[in-house]
Structure 1
Amino acid sequence: MANLKEIRSRITSVNSTRQITAAMKMVSAAKLRRAQDAITQMRPYAEKLQEILQNLSSALDVSENPYAAQREVKRILIVSITSNRGLCGAFNNNVIKQAKTIIAQNPGARIQVLSIGKKSFDVFKKTDYAPGVGYPTEAYKIYEDLNFADASSIAECVMDKFEAGKLDKVYLVYNSFRNAAIQILETEQFLPIVPPEASSESTSQIDYIFEPNKEEIVTELIPKSLKTQFYKAILDSNAGEHGARMTAMHKATDNATDMLKDLKLTYNKARQASITNEILEIVAGAEALNG
C-alpha cells in the first residue's frame, strides 16, 4: 500500500484535474449554446435550398449547369472538417478515419485532402494527400472568426477547380450536430450535385418555369446554394465539437469524482493502519520499560 504522502499527492492532483475538467465543461456549454443557435437557425434554410438546388440540376442540361457534370472519377477532393483542439472524445478521429476510408476505396484516383480544422491539417500536411497549389493554405484557421464570407471563399475555390475540370468529385466529411451527446458522422457529396431520387409513384416529367432565366439561376442561385451547403457543414461541425467536448469533460469530471472517493477511502485505511501501528509501538515500549 502506498504511503500517506503519496496518497495525499494523488488526491491533490486528481482534485485539480477535476476542477479543470469542470471548468472546461462550463466553457463548452456556453459556447455550445451559441453554436447550437447558429446551426438550428441555418439548417432549415440550407436544407430547403439544397432541395431546390437538386431539382434545378435535374431540370437543367449539364452544359447549362457545370456543377452537375458527371466525369470519370480520376481526381477527388476530400474536405475534412475537424476542430482545432482536442479533448472531445472520438470527434476528430472519426472524421480522419472516414477520410482515410475514402482514400482506400479509390486506389486509382488522385486524392487531395483539404483540412478545415487543425487536427485534420496536422495529420495530412506531410502526406501525399496535402492540397496542391491554389487551395487556401490556412483554411484550418477558419474557426478563429467563423463567418460566411470566409467559408464562402473556400467553397468558391473548390467550385472553380471543379468547373475548370481539375476535380471530378468533392466530398464533405464532418460531424453533423444532433444534440450535446450525439454527433453523426456524415460523408456528403458536394460536387457534382446529386440529382434527387426518382419517385416510383410519379413518372411524369415536371416542367419548370424559370424566373429569372436559366443563365441567371446558374450564375447566381446555384453557387450561392453550394456555398450555403458548405457553410452549414462547418457550422454543424462547430456545434458538434462543443457538444462532444462538453460530454467528454462531464464524463472526465465524474470519473475524477469517483477516483477521489476511492483515494480518500484508501487514505483513511492507511491512516488508521498507521495509527494502529503507532499505538502498538507505544504499548510495546511501555511494556518493555515496565518489564
Structure 2
Amino acid sequence: MASLRDIQSKINSTKKTKQITNAMQMVSASKLTRAEQNAKAFVPYSEKMQEVVSQIAASGDATHPMLQTRAVKKTGYLVITADRGLAGGYNNNVIREVYRTIQHQHTSTDEYTVIAAGRFGRDFFKKNNLPIAKEIIGLPDQPDFADIKQIASEAVEMFLEEEIDELVLFYNHFNSAISQEVTSQKLLPLTDITPESGRSVQSMYEFEPDAEGILKVLLPQYAESLIYGALLDAKASEHAARMTAMRAATDNANERIDDLTLTFNRARQAAITQEISEIVGGAAALQS
C-alpha cells in the first residue's frame, strides 16, 4: 500500500489538475457564447445572399461555371479542424470521416486534393502523405472574414480554373453545447441554391447592369461566405466540445480526489490502529 505521503501528494496534484480543467471549462464556455452569437448573426446575411443568387439563377438569363456540373476528374476536400486539442473527439471525428470518404471514393492521390484549415487536420494529412493544395493554421477563436478570405478565394479559384471539378466541405456542425455533428457539404458546383422550404422569398430585384455581370461578382462571394459560415459553425462546435471535455475532466478529478481521500483516511486509520496496538502491547509486556 502507498504511504500516506504518496497518497497526499496524489490528492494535491489532482486538485491542481482540477483547477486547470475547471478554468479551461469556464474560458471555453465564455468563448462558446460569443461564437454561437457570431454564427447566428451570420445566418441572415447568408440567407439573403442565397435568395439573390437563386433568383438570378432561376431567371435563366445568365449562366456561370460555378452553377454548372461537369465530369469529376478531381475532387477538392476543404477540411476544418482545430489548432489545439483537449476537445474530446472534435478533431478525430472530422478526420476519420474525411479519411473514410477518401478511401472509399478514390484509388489514387491524383483524384483528389485537400485544403486544410486547422493544425490537427494539416498534420494528419501530412503524416499520411495525402496531397495538400492549401493550408491555413492559427485562426483566432473568433475569426473575421478577412482571416479566411485568401484561402476561400483560392479554393473557389481552383474550381474556376478547373484544377478541381468539385469542392466538398467537412466540418463539425453545432447543434447544441453537448451535440456536434460531422457534416459534409458539396460546396461547388452550386447546385442547391434554392431557399429552404418554409422560407418564402419576398423581395423582387432589378439587376443592373445585367444578371450575368452580377453573377460573375456575386457567386464567388457567395461561395466564400459559405466557407466562412461553416468556419463560424465549426468554431462554436470546437468551444462546445472543449467545454464538455473539460467539464468531464473536472468531474473525473473530483471522483479521483474522493477515492484518494477515502484511501488516505483508511490508511491513516490503519496506521493509528497499528500504533495503538503497539502501545497496548508494550504496556502489557511491561506489566507482565
Please, what TM-score do these two structures have when normalized by structure 1?
Answer: 0.88
* 1:74-93 paired onto structure 2 within 5 Å: 74-93=73-92
Aligned to 2:224: 227
Give how far 1:24 is off: 0.4
Q: How far apart are the structure 1 equivalents of 2:84 and 2:195?
A: 42
Deviation string 1:39-85 (CA, Å, 9 cap, x unpaired) is: 11012321443354355445548x82111231222211111101111
Secondary structure in 1 matching 2:263? helix
Contact in 1 for aligned 2:50/2:222 (Cα 8 Å): yes
Paired residues of 2:90 and 2:172 also in contact (CA < 8 A): yes
Amino acid at match of 1:75: K
The one of 207, 210, 225 equivalent to 1:211 is 207
In the alignment, the residues of structure 2 paired with residue 250 and residue 209 of structure 1 have an alpha-carbon distance, to the nearest angstrom, of 50
In the TM superposition, what whole-angstrom CA distance separates every residue of 1:138-196 from its partner, at most 9, and x where no partner exists? x1223377211232221111111111111011111001112221212110111111235
* Cα distance, 1:88 vs structure 2: 0.7
Distance 1:77 1:279 in 2: 75
Aligned to 1:34: 34
Unmatched 5+ stretches in structure 2: 197-203
2:4 match: 4
1:125-204 map, 5 Å: 125-132=126-133, 135=134, 137=135, 139-143=136-140, 146-195=143-192
CA RMSD of aligned residues (A): 2.3
Amino acid at match of 1:71: R
User: Match of 1:23?
Assistant: 23
Conserved in 2, the CA contact under 8 Å of 1:79 and 1:170? yes
Matched with 1:204 is none
Alignment of 1:231-250 (within 5 A): 231-250=228-247
* Structure 2 counterpart of 1:130, one-letter code: P
Q: Which ranges of structure 1 fall in alignment gaps of 5 or more residues?
A: 200-207
Structure 1 pair 60–122 and aligned structure 2 pair: CA distance change class (3 A)? farther
Aligned residues of 1:74 and 1:108 also touching (Cα < 8 A): no
Q: Distance in 2 between matches of 1:182 and 1:14?
A: 28
- Tell me the secondary structure at the aligned position of residue 77 of structure 1: strand
Aligned length: 278
Q: 1:129 to 1:58 in 2, by over 3 A?
A: farther
- Taking the aligned partners of 2:241 and 2:231, their CA distance within structure 1 comes to 15
Moved more, 109-118 or 163-172: 109-118
- Corresponding residue for 1:124? 125
State the distance in 2 between where 1:90 and 1:266 align. 33
Contact 1:58/1:195, CA 8 A, preserved across alignment: no
Given that residues 55 and 195 in structure 1 are in contact (C-alpha distance below 8 angstroms), is that contact kept between their aligned partners in structure 2?
no
Q: Structure 1 residues 107, 81: closer, same or farther in 2, change over 3 A?
A: same
Within 2, Cα distance between the matches of 1:48 and 1:128? 40
2:275 matches 1:286? no
Give me the whole-angstrom Cα distance separating, in 1, the residues matched to 2:45 and 2:35.
Answer: 16
Classify 1:215/1:275 alpha carbon distance in 2 versus 1 (closer, same or farther; 3 Å). Answer: same
The sequence identity of aligned pairs, in percent, is 38
Report the equivalent of 2:252: 255
Residues 59, 128 of structure 1: CA spacing in aligned structure 2 closer, same or farther, 3 A cutoff?
farther
- Which one-letter code corresponds to 1:261 in the other structure? D
